[in-house]
Every structure is written in structure tokens, then in C-alpha cells.
Amino acid sequence: MKRLVSGELVQVTVDDLNDDGLGVGHVAGVKAAVVVGNGLPGEQGEALVVHRGQHKSVLRLFDLRGSTNDARVEPECPRWTPGSPCRLMHTSAEFQREFKRSLVSKALAREGFDRPVEACVSTGNLSGWRSRIIYLTRQHRGRALLGAYRRGSHQVQGMQECLLPEPALLQISERLIKVLEDFRSLLPHSTPALDAGCGEPRTLNHLRANLGKPGSPSTRGGGGELKYLALRANARGACMVCFLGDLPPGAAQELAGRTIAAGASSVFIGSSGPGDAVFGAEAPSWVAGYKSLIDEVDGLSFELLPRTFFQVHRDAAARLQRDAVDCVVGTRVLDVFSGVGALALRAAKNGCQVTAIESVPEARELALRNAKRNGLELRLVGSEADQALQSLLDERAGAEPPFDTIMVNPPRKGLGPGVAPRLLALAPQRIVYVSCNPKSLAKDLSELSGAYRLTQVTPYDLFPASEHVEALATLERE
């Protein structure tokens, strides 16, 4: 049986896509499966062996021979590679939506559901949609650099040419790179990428030269260290800037003043976390400009801080939130994993009496301020979801179900231990589930399915050109 060798060119056939949006296929005479990053089903051609594993090898298709999948398109970004965050940019928008619908459908099928999944909803804008971005701040050969790590390494690639950020973020980035040129002593030195490709080298020669390269960065610096730059824009183009690292106080004040002069609406400075963690344990401190950023989403305004979770595709998030709240029945609503109140406040605006559960203190405070800002009433329970639900059950003490609808919007891991049984005990007429992970969604729906019937599942494309998908599911009490 033939064994692949890293760096060799082989003939490969692509059979399918996996859940990560990567081609999977086979090489004649090779038993182990192969992942062909940029391959699409039905395609054949010559591919470079990027990594040889015992059970799975990774290839990059360079020379297509024979028929090309009809969904293949020229990537909009000239720097695109299979290692880019925009993993599906080499496919048509229709193909991407169907792929995401199939991810949700397959996840449900694995848990025994045969409910048809609706077509994936997309707002259509495939670039210029991202309202938040985090850069590595580095220097190389005496020049400041705003970049990101290449996938699987600590090689730093420049990211100022990325097509995803909103125009306001690109404009402030161009100004800030000039500011940082005067603060190079605070910037760690970088291990540079070999070429301009995003995620990995684009060309065959550069990719071969990169094989087996260690990815450890050099972090020498003097006086302090500025590791990350977090930017967030609102719908009107105002930009919040947050510098993260270990900055000397004098330099921090001077940097903040220069940043305001460059057009930022507010400046925060905070510590970074251990390893590659962006944010430290303490919330960043306000230094200059406005003390928060006010964003507007579909008729509601939200106060945001540097590390606040808020969907980065404003238009797509607005559509998903509207549709979720449209699924509400009755007027008594519970919103679990409420965050800063994106769903809760929309339900309150529709006339519902809303109780929200949120465990993060910073998010709770913002949710209450956002309720006041929008002239809405919101009752908030501040503890972990399972504990808060148990408290609500104790308040009920055998009375009628206290809520007509319960909305849940958990993190990627899903509801977590103890949440589903307590949702069942609260016995709402309807459960509206917003998910960012089809696998955890399907698992949680299975746990709820004994007492509830799954009536609708719709995917939403909040991260165009990537393999990620959100979903909205509704369950009715049997």
C-alpha cells in the first residue's frame, strides 16, 4: 500500500465536503483518507501533500484536470487560500447556503430528527459586513504591522487588506498603523509570513518552503508590550479602539490622545490574557473619548464595551433576531443567555413582559442600561442559567406555567448541564432556540423532544464565505 510523502504532488479525487467545509477524497493506492482543502465534490487533479498523517493527510489542489464543480468561482479576495477564515469563498453563494442548510440537516438526522430544514437565510452582502475585528500588533524590520496568525502557526500575516470589515474599520486601521509607527518600541517582533496569502501561502513554491516550519514568535520588546488591537464600529461609522497588553501609563495616555486625533470615538486600554488569549481577567479601562459605543440594530440601540459579545454581521443578526421574536406566543417571555438584551428588548418592544437571565456581570449591567435607553422594562436574573431557572421554578411553587415562551441563545457548547430539565419543568407553550452550533442544537433538541415537538428549523448565514452557520428552531409543547 502506497504511503504519501509531505511535499510530493499526487493525483487526487474529491468525493465530498466535510462539516468544516473542506474537501475529502482519496488517492489511488492510499488507504488513509485525505482532506483536500480547496477541492469540491467530483473534481480531480494534481495536489500537494501539505501534511502526511497516519490516518488522514492534508492536500492542496493546484491543477484541476477534467470537470470542475459548477459551484466553483474565483475567490473575491486575491489573497484567498483554503487556510483563510473565508473557507468557502471559492464557491457560489447558492452553494454556501445549501452547504449550511445541509450542516443543520445532518446534525438533526444524527439525533433521529427527520424534520425538513428550511432554506438558509442570507442578507446577500458577502464583504464589508464585519463590525468588529481584533488585530495582532507587531513589528517587522522596523515597520508596524496589524495582522493575524496563520492557521496552525505563529507566523504573522498582514490583515489590512481583508475584505470583511466594515469600511469605517478599514479607514481607522489605516490611520492607526501610522500612529503605531511612532510606538514601535512597544510592539513585539514578529515571525513574518512567507507571502501575502491569507491563512497559508498561496503559491506551490512558498507552500513547499513553509512545510515543517515551527510557528513560535519572537516577543522581545522594551518598556512594555502592546499585543492586540480590538476595533468595533457602529452603524454610523464611529469606532471604538481598545489596546491590549502591558503598556506603561505615560505611553498609554499619549497613544490614546493620538488615537482620538486619528478619528476614534473612544479609547480603552486593558491587559491581554495568558498565552494567546486576547482579553485579560479585568475589563479594559476607558481612557479617552466616549465611555462606550452605541450601536443601532433594527430600531433598537445598544450600548457596547470592548469585550461585549454582539453579533458582528449587523444586517443578518437583525433578520435573525426579528424572526426569533416573531416566533414568540403569548406575552410572558423568558430569555435565557440574554447577553446585552438583543432578543429580550425586541420582545419587550413588541409588548411582552420579559424576564432575562444572564450570568456575566458586565453584560447584565449593559442589558439594564440598554432597556432604559430604549424606554423598555426588563426584569433580570443574574446567575448561571441552571441556577436562575431553578429559582424561577421555586417561585412558581406548583402554580400555572409562568411563561408562554422561553427563548434560549446559548454559547457553542449548548444549554449545558441541568438547563434542559428545568426548561421542561417550566413547561412553556413554546421554546425558541437560537444556535451557533448545529451539533449542540441537535443534542439539546433531542433532550427536549420528549415533551416538545420540533416544528421549524431555519439556518441563517451570519458569517458569509465561512463554514459557520446559525439556526433558529421552534418547539411546541405536546
Q: What are phi and psi for residue 222, nearest 5 degrees?
A: -130, 140
Tell me which DSSP letter residue 72 carries. Answer: B
Q: Comparing 208-217, 357-366, 378-387, which segment has the lowest mean pLDDT?
A: 208-217
What residues are annotated to the active site? 436
Write down the H helix ranges in 116-271: 167-180, 204-210, 249-261
pLDDT at residue number 354:
98
pLDDT > 90: percent of the chain: 85
Instruction: Indicate the helix (H) or strand (E) that contains 109.
Output: helix 93-110
Which pLDDT band holds residue 221 (cuts at 50, 70, 90)?
Answer: very low
Q: Are 71 and 59 in contact (CB under 8 A)?
A: no
Which pLDDT band holds residue 217 (cuts at 50, 70, 90)?
Answer: very low
Q: Do the strands 9-17 and 23-26 form a parallel or antiparallel pair, or are they unpaired?
A: antiparallel
Q: What are phi and psi for residue 127, nearest 5 degrees?
A: -140, 160
Which pLDDT band holds residue 222 (cuts at 50, 70, 90)?
Answer: very low
Dist. CA 105–CA 113, nearest whole Å: 9
For 383-440, what is each residue's pLDDT tens digit?
Answer: 999 999 999 999 876 678 899 999 999 999 999 999 999 999 999 999 999 999 999 9
All three cell numbers of 152, joined, read: 496552525
Nearest C-alpha neighbor of 149 from the set 220, 228, 33: 228
What's the burial of 359, exposed, middle or buried (CB within 10 Å: 0-12/13-18/19+)? Answer: middle
Dist. CA 228–CA 234, nearest whole Å: 20
For 41-61, what is each residue's pLDDT tens digit?
Answer: 999 999 999 999 888 899 999
Question: Which domains, and CATH codes, for the chain?
Answer: 9-72 (2.40.50.140), 99-124+311-477 (3.40.50.150), 132-297 (2.40.50.1070)
- pLDDT, the chain, mean: 93
